[in-house]
Amino acid sequence: MSFLYAIKSKSASWVFLLTLFICSLFAPSAGALASQAEEELTAKLVEGAKKEGQLLLYHSMNVQEGDKLLKRFQEKYPFIKTEMVRSDSQAGLNKILAEDRAKKHLCDVMSFPAMSIEVLKRKNLLAKYLSPNGKSYPEEFKDPDGYWISNYFQLHVMAYNTRLIAPKEVPRSYEDFLGPKWKGKIGMDANAFYWFAGVLKIMGEEKGLQYMKKLSDQNIRFDGRILVVQLVAAGETSITMPVYNHRIEQMKSDGAPLEWSALEPLIAEVNAPSISAHAPHPHTARLFIDFLLSKEGQEIIASFYRLPTRSDVEARIPRAKAKGMKILPFDPAITDNYEKYVKLYREVLMKKQPR
């Protein structure tokens, strides 16, 4: 009896395994199910967007870049009328906060550096959205609470005029900028507050502030970030920090006598497109976020010389991503003391500037 039972049990097991195998041949794979779910989500968003018919974007990219992104989005979805408001991140943040105080919610998507977006997150002015494109992004470029996925990042580097400075003369450390040869030859952005906070984090606040006091004695010329680089290219100053390396690459391609170099760890800023918690057009907003994070959207970002964060999209100039170099990631804690850093920057580093 036990022998016959064993034979029957073995046969049943083979039938069961064969059945599983046949079912697996016809069952949809996990990838197919995910693709189907993504298509269903997009169809639902498109249906809602057709009813809404509008999108208002607040952003800090230049106007030409914003225009190109919105034009392509509108080509994909011609039933959506798009508008944008361009400003720097601080002005954009102030505008959104003022509109919230007035209970006047206009924008659907805001695309600013993560530090400004972090302020809005803490004030409950963002809506969560887990874009299906998120699987193509490294975790360090995602908000842990699901409010944003970064569409590009920016690296703070130094830039110099190649006609005035030989590569061997380029500073190799922050302390090198304190040498007498650089006095009166350094240009700096008047609003490099996040970089300032990053340096204090790297050095430690006490040592960092001592360094900034000494750097201030170098008779630095402060201007807007774009103008600072233009002055270096024109030879009116020799070197500048911090600047974004993708802009240097862009100007080099136009013939500017510029090159960039980096001090490790590099201080990085991530751009964090997010959906307003009070978005008048929430389906359209989600559809636009999906577009920004798609491979097509990231390739458009790369065409601006910016540094796309999507894993399968390379930068236009691969070197600009500084692969292999240590990068200091975005630190939300800097937001806690942002006003302090603004005050210190102006009082310590810019102390000799005319008021």
CATH code of residue 304: 3.40.190.10
Q: What is the pTM of this model?
A: 0.84
* Residues 186 and 44 placed together within one structural domain of the fold: no
Q: Which residue from 13, 96, 12, 5 is spatially nearest to 59, judged by alpha carbons? A: 96
> Is 325 among the domain residues?
no
- Helix (H) / strand (E) element for 317: namely none
> Is 54 among the domain residues?
yes
CA 308, 314, 315, 318 torsion: positive or negative?
A: positive
* Residues 108 and 210 placed together within one structural domain of the fold: no
> Is 23 among the domain residues?
no
> Is 224 among the domain residues?
yes
For residues 271 and 107, give the distance between their C-alpha atoms in angstroms, rounded to a whole number.
17
* Residues 255 and 171 placed together within one structural domain of the fold: yes
* Residues 232 and 287 placed together within one structural domain of the fold: no
What are the tokens at 176? 């090198």
Residue 11 CB partners (closer than 8 Å, separation 6+) = none
* Residues 55 and 163 placed together within one structural domain of the fold: no
* Residues 218 and 117 placed together within one structural domain of the fold: no
For residues 228 and 191, give the distance between their C-alpha atoms in angstroms, rounded to a whole number.
11
What are the tokens at 164? 């005035």
* Residues 226 and 282 placed together within one structural domain of the fold: no
pLDDT at 4: 44
What are the tokens at 226? 């774009």
> Is 142 among the domain residues?
yes
Say if CB 152 and CB 271 are below 8 A apart.
yes
Say if CB 182 and CB 174 are below 8 A apart.
no
* Residues 144 and 284 placed together within one structural domain of the fold: yes
| Beta strands at 221-223 and 186-189: parallel, antiparallel or unpaired | parallel
- Helix (H) / strand (E) element for 260: namely strand 258-261
Number of domains in the chain: 2
* Residues 39 and 184 placed together within one structural domain of the fold: no
> Is 86 among the domain residues?
yes
pLDDT at 41: 85
Domain residues for 88?
35-153+269-319
- Other Cβ atoms less than 10 A from the Cβ of 340: the count is 12
* Residues 280 and 252 placed together within one structural domain of the fold: no
Residue 15 CB partners (closer than 8 Å, separation 6+) = none
Tens-digit pLDDT profile for residues 45-97: 999 999 999 999 999 999 999 999 999 999 999 999 999 999 988 899 999 99
> Is 286 among the domain residues?
yes
pLDDT at 75: 97
> Is 16 among the domain residues?
no
List the chain residues with pLDDT less than 50: 1-8, 354-355
* Residues 218 and 345 placed together within one structural domain of the fold: yes
* Residues 147 and 161 placed together within one structural domain of the fold: no
Say if CB 49 and CB 80 are below 8 A apart.
yes
As a three-state string, the secondary structure of 160-200 is: EECCCCCHHHCCCCHHHHHCHHHCCCEEEECCCHHHHHHHH
Q: Which residue from 146, 150, 147 is spatially nearest to 113, judged by alpha carbons? A: 150
